[in-house]
């Protein structure tokens, strides 16, 4: 359950001198307690509206961090639904409970001591062979990731394919929470991505050059200037920054190259 503290619920009417604004309130049940909240709220905002102070089970509020994994049941349905609290809009008479942390197995390993061999994923997470092919993990994923497919790749020993299919994983744990085989899919996926990044994809030459530039102090003057700036200056710089056009091509550059790497790179 989410680690929350509840204050006394207070509903305030939104009004002004000229116009009184009212929004439809709908009943929901949070861990068995009935509350009335505006119909347009997400589950996360409804929790706060009801008086809950979230100290766990919340994070980015944009569907990226995976901290607000939630289970709920809709009226008249026997199914337990899942979703992210920051993305799921309330439904009248829904029953809600949060699972911000799932106690899943997380193997310890040193990526430098591993080899990208077909059996490495199964050696570290042998439970992948318990996969039943039921596809519950895929149906549970709020990011629409084909979880069962990347688990199949892991079983085959196809590390790169497993990494590719699991790339958008936000580590919310909903797949593992619903898996009848008790597999920790998201930890298998991140291991595949780490192995792929460390051993299987070409290293980026431009990244190595940029590291050399940083080590030489190429950007020290610019960073020192920003550190010395007061808040008003930083706000002005941020407000007036040159934005990359939405449809910019790959060769787009800002009008000033002051904060960019030198054109000659960091060649020795």
Average pLDDT, the chain: 89
Who wins on pLDDT, 11 or 229?
A: 229
DSSP conformation class of 199? I
- Is the pLDDT confidence value at 108 over 90? yes
Across residues 173-178, what is the average pLDDT?
92
User: Rounded distance, CA 106 to CA 80, Å?
Assistant: 26
Percent of the chain residues topping a pLDDT of 90: 67
Which CATH superfamily hosts domain 111-200? Answer: Alpha-helical ferredoxin (1.10.1060.10)
Who wins on pLDDT, 258 or 25?
A: 25
- Is the pLDDT confidence value at 144 over 70? yes
Across residues 231-241, what is the average pLDDT?
93
- Is the pLDDT confidence value at 263 over 80? no
Across residues 65-86, what is the average pLDDT?
92
Residue 175 backbone zone (phi > 0: left; psi -120 to 50: alpha; other: beta): alpha
Supply the pLDDT for residue 1.
47
- Is the pLDDT confidence value at 52 over 60? yes
Supply the pLDDT for residue 205.
87
Supply the pLDDT for residue 167.
97
- Is the pLDDT confidence value at 173 over 80? yes
Supply the pLDDT for residue 18.
54
Of the spans 1-5, 232-236, 254-258, which averages the highest pLDDT?
Answer: 232-236
Q: Which of 116, 137, 120 is nearest to 179 (CA)?
A: 137
Is the CATH code 3.10.20.30 the one for domain 24-98? yes
Domain boundaries, the chain: 24-98, 111-200
DSSP H/E element including 49:
helix 43-49
pLDDT-derived band at 14, boundaries 50, 70, 90: very low
Q: Measured in whole angstroms, how far is the alpha carbon of residue 143 from the centre of its chain?
A: 9
Across residues 240-255, what is the average pLDDT?
89
Tokens coding 261: 């790497």
Provide the angle, in degrees to the nearest 10, between the axes of the packed helices 147-156 and 185-195.
60
Supply the pLDDT for residue 265.
54
Who wins on pLDDT, 164 or 80?
A: 164
Q: List, for residues 200-232, the tens digit of each pLDDT value.
A: 999 888 888 899 999 999 999 999 999 999 999
Supply the pLDDT for residue 207.
87
């Amino acid at each position: 359950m989410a680690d929350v503290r509840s204050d006394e619920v207070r509903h305030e009417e939104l009004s002004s001198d000229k116009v009184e604004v009212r929004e439809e309130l709908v009943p929901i049940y949070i861990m068995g307690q009935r509350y009335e909240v505006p119909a347009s709220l997400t589950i996360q905002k409804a929790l706060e509206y009801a008086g809950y102070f979230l100290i766990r089970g919340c994070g980015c509020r944009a569907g990226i961090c995976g901290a607000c994994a939630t289970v709920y049941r809709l009226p008249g349905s026997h199914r337990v639904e899942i979703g992210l609290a920051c993305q799921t809009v309330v439904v009248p008479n829904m029953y809600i409970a949060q699972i911000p942390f799932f106690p899943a197995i997380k193997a310890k390993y040193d990526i430098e001591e591993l080899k990208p061999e077909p059996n490495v994923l199964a050696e570290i997470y042998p439970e992948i062979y318990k996969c039943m092919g039921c596809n519950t993990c895929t149906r549970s994923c709020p990011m629409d990731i084909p979880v069962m497919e990347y688990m199949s790749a892991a079983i085959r020993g196809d590390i790169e394919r497993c990494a590719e299919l699991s790339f958008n994983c936000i580590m919310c744990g909903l797949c593992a929470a619903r898996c009848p085989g008790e597999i920790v899919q998201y930890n298998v996926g991140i291991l595949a991505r780490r192995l792929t990044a460390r051993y299987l994809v070409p290293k980026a030459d431009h990244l190595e050059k940029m590291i050399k530039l940083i080590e030489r102090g190429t950007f020290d003057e610019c960073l020192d200037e920003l550190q010395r700036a007061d808040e008003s200056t930083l706000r002005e710089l941020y407000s007036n920054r040159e934005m990359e056009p939405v449809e910019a091509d790959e060769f787009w550059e800002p009008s000033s190259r002051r904060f960019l790497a030198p054109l000659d790179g960091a060649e020795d």
